[in-house]
């Protein structure tokens, strides 16, 4: 749920014009918040079922929040 919400916010963010600074800030914050919330759930799912898709989503979530150090662990 958090991952999908973050992805939706990222798509909206990608479509915003550079002049829409307030909206950009709002959606950047939303993307970071949603992906940050998603990580513990994704890690638990991966712990219970080491499906490659969970690992990929954890990597993507860390990348989206700018945490490349942790993202590398799931590449």
Contact status, residue 58 vs residue 74, Cβ threshold 8 Å: yes
- CA 1 from centroid of its chain's CA atoms: 11
**pTM above threshold 0.85:** yes
DSSP character string of 43-74: HHHHHHS--HHHHHHHHHHHHHTT-HHHHHTT
Range of the domain at 16: 2-72
Task: Tell me how many domains the chain contains.
Answer: 1
Instruction: Supply the mean pLDDT for the chain.
Output: 96
Could you tell me how many helices (H) and strands (E) the chain has, helices first? Answer: 4, 0
pLDDT digits (tens, 9 = 90+) for 55-66: 999 999 999 999
Cα 24 to Cα 53: distance, rounded to the nearest angstrom: 29
């Amino acid at each position: 749920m958090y991952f999908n919400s973050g992805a939706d916010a990222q798509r909206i963010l990608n479509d915003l014009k550079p002049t829409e600074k307030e909206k950009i800030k709002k959606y950047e914050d939303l993307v970071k918040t949603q992906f940050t919330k998603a990580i513990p759930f994704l890690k638990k799912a991966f712990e219970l079922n080491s499906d490659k898709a969970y690992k990929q989503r954890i990597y993507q979530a860390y990348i989206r929040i700018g945490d490349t150090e942790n993202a590398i662990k799931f590449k």
